[in-house]
Amino acid sequence: MNGRKLLTRDVPKHLRGDYTGRKFRAVVTNEVTIPSDAGTWDGGTCSKFSLVQLADGQARDMVSARRAPWDPARRNLKVEIPAGCAVVERAWFQGHECGLTFYLRAEDAAPFRRDTTPAITDGGAS
């Protein structure tokens, strides 16, 4: 899943949580597979996943830190993204924050798109 880079102005402030950086991506998809090691540190690398309501930014963690990565309940958890929500991945690589990736359904991606096409207006030509 490649996704598209977003500018800071493309991401509503209420969806950023406590992240203060400027690295954002959006991936349009209906489901996300959360790896079994999500939320754990390995060699300075970690990814945390949250389910965020797009309307108000309320978030909840998707992986319990109380379960071991080898627990079958955590093994590559496939999540169907509910309408009106996004799965947000916050990632670190070698201790440096890499930004937020928003996994969104196509119908919920509109607020993250900017129109780069100039508006067509009636120029008054006759």
Residue pLDDT tens, the chain, 126 long: 567 899 898 898 999 999 999 999 999 999 999 888 888 888 888 899 999 999 999 998 887 666 666 777 667 788 899 999 999 999 999 888 999 999 999 999 877 765 544 444 455 444
* Residues 109, 85 contacting (CB under 8 angstroms): no
* Residues 3, 42 contacting (CB under 8 angstroms): no
Predicted TM-score (pTM) of this structure: 0.81
* Residues 59, 16 contacting (CB under 8 angstroms): no
